[in-house]
Amino acid sequence: MAINCFFLDVGQGTSQIIRLTNNRAIVIDTGSAGRNLCLILLKAWKIRTIEALILTHDHSDHTGGAVEIIQEYQHNIKKIYFNPSDNTTFLIDLAVVVYPLLTDSLYSELIECICVRSSRSLYKDTENEIELLYPSSNDYAISINNNDLNYGAGIVLLKSNNRQILFSSDAPYSAFEQIYQNRGKPFVVDIATISHHGGDINASPEQLNNLFSNILKTQYAIVSVGTRNSYHHPFPDTIKTIANLGIEIFCTQITSACCPEEYLEMWRYVRDKVGLDYSLSTFQRDITVKNDQELSRNVACAGTIIATISENGTIIKQLDDLRSTKEKLKNQIPNSSPCCNLSCNCE
């Protein structure tokens, strides 16, 4: 039976929904607080049961929408996986907003620390499985001691119809290297998300090349990123390194690395004519003002990306249209070219 995986356009954050049969879903991260696209889609699709809510690590751009989802589905979430930190706001919000709605026994059964499980399977049915590849409890403890939660960020693998999709969260290079050493062989997937929004994963250029040429082999790579992020994600060198290995890359939103600031609204208009579904992205139009200057936010590139996994393989919906957006950017917007285009000289 085919299932759909949605890589949501939530701006500078991460959220994925695996839509199962019979009005069920698995949620991996929820994006930031605010306009909760994850919850909007769950309700629009009339999802009745969340089989698992997996929160990979305690950063607000991954957990910000979680409390609202738990509040909406309080009696219809079978399991929540989460690694708390010393300064977590998620658990505080959860205790204040959600805990009074649950009995003590239900609360204790509902939430489980993701890294201390004896089983690495977070969900399994006759056709689908979610496997936790990283972290171990020791990895998680190190991330807390070093005050770097990315070192304890969960890496999970979806197995369905003999196909695989990897969700990398914000995990560092060393996490993937550890998985590779434990397995003794590379893992081959159809789609992988690029860790940390295409930003720093504590890897040298040689290590980054090794990650995507030897450790992890994928046909498609997805970057969840926001147009106006202060971290300069994704790093152009990271994107070009991966693209040079023949991996096709799609970013949920565009940044000034690919399109100059003054042409972002022109790009928003041009992209709208491609025919991609804007209803699955965060905003149709979003402008902020700084120093009396209008600045564009949340400008979709690929937008929300949909993959169908079936016995016939993994197919990205509207793949030709997604590819054409890159050509339109290069050909119709002045001084623009996608960093994932091999001919691009973006800096």
The total of other beta-carbon atoms located within 10 Å of residue 103's CB is 9
Across 87-91, 119-123, 154-158, 271-275, the highest mean pLDDT is recorded for 154-158
pLDDT on residue 147 = 82
Using CA atoms, how far apart are residues 263 and 329, in angstroms rounded to an integer?
A: 10
pLDDT on residue 132 = 93
For residue 99, pLDDT over 60 is answered with no
- Asked whether residue 343 is assigned to any structural domain, the reply reads no
For residue 202, pLDDT over 60 is answered with yes
Please give the span between the terminal C-alpha atoms of the chain, in angstroms, as a whole number.
44
pLDDT on residue 279 = 66
**b vs e for 110-135, b when ≥16 Cβ sit within 10 Å of the residue's Cβ?**
bbbebbeeeeeebbeeebbbbbbbbb
- Asked whether residue 198 is assigned to any structural domain, the reply reads yes
Average pLDDT of the segment spanning 14-41: 95
Which residue segment(s) compose the domain that 144 sits in?
3-332
pLDDT on residue 289 = 81
pLDDT on residue 254 = 95
- Alpha-carbon 313 to chain mean position: 21
pLDDT on residue 120 = 85
**Count of the separate structural domains present in the chain:** 1
Strand order in the sheet with 248-251: 121-124, 128-134, 155-160, 163-167, 187-193, 216-223, 248-251
pLDDT in tens, 237-279: 999 999 999 999 999 999 999 999 999 999 988 887 777 776 6
- Asked whether residue 85 is assigned to any structural domain, the reply reads yes
For residue 292, pLDDT over 90 is answered with no
For residue 282, pLDDT over 90 is answered with no
Q: What does the mean pLDDT of the chain come to?
A: 88
- Asked whether residue 210 is assigned to any structural domain, the reply reads yes
Output the domain CATH number for residue 74.
3.60.15.10
pLDDT on residue 181 = 94
213: left (phi over 0), alpha (psi -120 to 50) or beta: alpha
pLDDT on residue 75 = 82
pLDDT on residue 15 = 98
For residue 332, pLDDT over 80 is answered with yes
Using CA atoms, how far apart are residues 64 and 47, in angstroms rounded to an integer?
A: 20
pLDDT on residue 347 = 52
pLDDT in tens, 293-321: 888 999 999 999 999 999 999 999 999 99
Output the pTM of the full model. Answer: 0.93
- Asked whether residue 58 is assigned to any structural domain, the reply reads yes
pLDDT in tens, 111-145: 776 665 545 899 999 999 999 999 988 887 788 77
pLDDT on residue 294 = 82
For residue 177, pLDDT over 60 is answered with yes
For residue 186, pLDDT over 70 is answered with yes
Long-range contacts of 329-333 (CB under 8 A, 24+ apart): 329/254, 329/258, 329/259, 329/267, 329/270, 329/301, 332/270, 333/259, 333/263, 333/266, 333/267, 333/270
Secondary structure element (H or E) that encloses residue 181, with its range:
helix 173-183
Confidence of residue 233 (pLDDT cuts 50, 70, 90): very high
